[in-house]
Chain A
């Protein structure tokens, strides 16, 4: 069963265009006259947004692309056009790949766990088998309202083996796990990110589940479908669009990973390198090393890689939906 036109926020982006076309302005232009007078006035409303958008989105992208073609001359204080040399350097830069592989590993492990938990929670809350389900829905969502910085500071303290819960738990179980050590750091960051965003994704899935009409459940019940069967044959397919969007958001979020490692770096500067994630690398190149041109190149390559992976996931997702 394909997702019907319901379009929650979550299902949206892929359907945005068709929605806009079909339900947008309702009237088609009168024959002989392409745009009515009031229609061109749409620019009054869209114009201001576009102007700021151009300044904060399009101009920086263009500027970064321009910067990436130049290189600073150390002695002369000038820049020189070097074509694509910076890109060649990025692709052979071990530090860049070290960070990229780390976020890729993070994406492969953390995102399925987070989305899986969010899915289970959404299904449980939607199932009507839960006591106090609206309370669960609210509380599980709450971490989203906690600033990422505060989340990292809290967990950072709790991870600490001086005070904090890690010390208490180690005492209790006789273990000596140090969440901020080299071996555990990435898992510790994954836990923070999961804690922050599981509720947000749960809400996306839950909103999508609410769009399934009652008739379908009634029909399924008449056909003798049990709870498990209903989940697998009705609810999961209905969630396909929402899962796709949540995955794409998660890809973008993961590849941008910055706040968590950058703040934890103040606690463990030896564990988290300056190139722990590509974003951290671009940041440190600019603000630690004044290598603006190279930093811009790293940012562009990272943006392109993210877009390619997000696009591939979307393509796969829509192809599945066609089946």
Chain B
């Protein structure tokens, strides 16, 4: 039995040694496979004279591999029905479901996928929630596959709406807090759940953080806060 298990471990090690690891990124933040990522950094430009607004949702999606592959298949399926765009290998494709074959990835080099949703809407038209299932698959013997869902909207029903407290404010380069009285526990994570700050705070201070969207728990309150 022991020999069989050792043999099995050896075979597994051999097989997994060939499986490449694919990782998606939203900006600089790694995406946890299988997760639903909420993205709220929507650009809206209004043109009142022409009675329309431009909506742009660009989460800066990229992918990286830990090994060279010239046969990665990228699938982006907008399940909410909008037309989205994905680019790779010097070409872009736009449709409700986009499949790009034979995408080349080099070891350790991020590739920008040019994933975005853009639309011209009437001024009073609601900005849609764009939900897209994104998958990358190594179409070789390794068969590595990674997927996640991204939900892009002005606000998401599944997450507490952004609350700006007098005692917690986004400032240039970080988040400013002000606590009068007792110490308050403050915890801040990235939108993909990575812990960036966790401590009891009182008085005033600034937590230095790069720009982006964060989820916070501050005392008995929680919400989202965006640093520009």
Is this pair of chains taken from one and the same complex?
no
Interface residues in chain A, defined as those with a beta carbon under 8 Å from any beta carbon in chain B:
none
Interface residues in chain B, defined as those with a beta carbon under 8 Å from any beta carbon in chain A:
none
